[in-house]
Amino acid sequence: MNVRLLDIAHARSGDKGDTANVGLIALEPRWYPIIQRYVTLERVQEHFRDVITGPVERFELPNLKALNFLLHGALDGGGTLSLKTDAQGKVFSTAMLRMEIEVPDDEAKNVGMPGAKQRPAYARSPKE
């Protein structure tokens, strides 16, 4: 099933020079493994392909149930150099939350993703 990051995470963003920083935090701890598995470096690079000119770095923060991305070449030189209307990286969190990821139906159901139908209790394993 397609899952919008907006439905399973919140995000914060900022900037330093020409690099935007986006933190993606799971709304529920049980959704962090989904975010960790499917919000890949390659997926984020593809999502921002028309906006950034440099590489993307990804950092895992399991204790916070979060991922952090550095988007290099995102701000046209940064706030003091750019002629962009908003060259400070604040909108990158909103842009990240617009991303959709494909999660196998069974996996989405097992962790109670929004829009996934939960299996009845009698059909679940004892660990669920």
Domain boundaries, the chain: 2-123
CB atoms within 10 A of CB 71: 28
> What pTM did the predictor assign?
0.81
Instruction: Give the pLDDT confidence score for residue 38 in this predicted structure.
Output: 98
Read off the amino acid at residue 23. Answer: G
Q: For 67-98, what is each residue's pLDDT tens digit?
A: 999 999 888 654 544 444 454 567 889 999 99
Give CA–CA dist 36/62, Å, rounded: 9
How far is Cα of residue 15 from the mean position of the Cα atoms in its chain? 17
Instruction: Give the pLDDT confidence score for residue 64 in this predicted structure.
Output: 97
Cα dihedral angle (29, 27, 58, 103), rounded to 10 degrees?
80
Q: Scanning the structure block, which residue is given the tokens 């909108």?
A: 91
